[in-house]
Amino acid sequence: MVKKSDVTKARLLEAATQEFAAYGIAGARVDRIAASASVNKNLIYVYFGNKERLFDTVYAAAIEELLSAAPFDAQDLPGYAGALFDFYRAHPHLLRLARWHGLERPAADALPVAQESTSAKLRELAAAQADGLVDAGMPAHALLTLVLVLSSAWSDGSPEGRTPDEDAALVSLRRHSVVVSVGRLTRPPRPQDGAPALPDGDAARQTVRTARN
């Protein structure tokens, strides 16, 4: 049986996610969060301690959701970028939360889930570079940053952002542009023996794995 407290916490987290994404930490109001969740605002302090800890809980949940929806694969960075593009469009609150975190909590330690995820990505990416599967012309941390930035180029809150007149064809073109760009950025140099270079796009995964086998 689901506990009443678990249901209440879930409602608070859902309301807090929308509030923090819209207003950040300083601008968020516990009164609005409590009203939206239909609970007494004192429960926020009982369950989460303070507004900053509530924000961290919301942000950590958003990161977990992203990690589940778009698993990192150093052998298919174009496909990974496409999955991120799709997630950011479907869940624009994550990037808004990330930007608020960077603006309002720059001195705070990175959340464990974020630290562990980034470390794992860098290890996998460095290994793929060492194996010749990904271009090694720049450090893994720089390459990962560029992949992430390209994936979010047309997300809400970016300088380009969404445009009022965008349609399915435009969204598809933008996604294709992200996938192709990441493919070209991360593809290893063409072998000297004349073997074909890895293709851009979602077919890269099968090609790379076939080559390894």
Percent of the chain that is helix, strand, coil (3-state, to 5): 70, 0, 30
Whether 99 and 9 share a structural domain: no
Residue pair 86/175 in contact (Cβ under 8 Å)? The answer is yes
Whether 70 and 37 share a structural domain: no
Whether 76 and 40 share a structural domain: no
Report how far residue 189's alpha carbon sits from residue 193's, in angstroms, rounded to the nearest whole number: 11
Is residue 56 in a domain? no
Whether 42 and 83 share a structural domain: no
Is residue 54 in a domain? no
H or E stretch at 195: none
Domain that holds residue 196: 61-212
Residues near 14 by beta carbon (within 8 Å), at least 6 away in sequence: 37
**Looking at residue 159, what is its pLDDT?**
61
**Looking at residue 57, what is its pLDDT?**
94
Report how far residue 127's alpha carbon sits from residue 125's, in angstroms, rounded to the nearest whole number: 5
Whether 3 and 93 share a structural domain: no
Low-confidence ranges of the chain (pLDDT < 70): 1-2, 157-165, 191-213
Give the pair of three-digit tokens for residue 128. 């793929």
Count of structural domains, the chain: 2
**Looking at residue 206, what is its pLDDT?**
43
**Looking at residue 93, what is its pLDDT?**
87
CA 81 to chain centre: 10
Which CATH number does the domain housing residue 147 bear?
1.10.357.10
Report how far residue 81's alpha carbon sits from residue 152's, in angstroms, rounded to the nearest whole number: 9
Is residue 55 in a domain? no
**Looking at residue 193, what is its pLDDT?**
44
Give the pair of three-digit tokens for residue 176. 């294709």
Main-chain phi, psi angles of 38, to 5 degrees: 60, 45
Whether 163 and 67 share a structural domain: yes
Report how far residue 60's alpha carbon sits from residue 56's, in angstroms, rounded to the nearest whole number: 6
Whether 16 and 97 share a structural domain: no
Report how far residue 87's alpha carbon sits from residue 186's, in angstroms, rounded to the nearest whole number: 21
Give the pair of three-digit tokens for residue 67. 């990690």
pLDDT in tens, 10-54: 999 999 999 999 999 999 999 999 999 999 999 999 999 999 999
Q: What is the dihedral of CA 125, 65, 109, 107, to 10 degrees?
A: 100
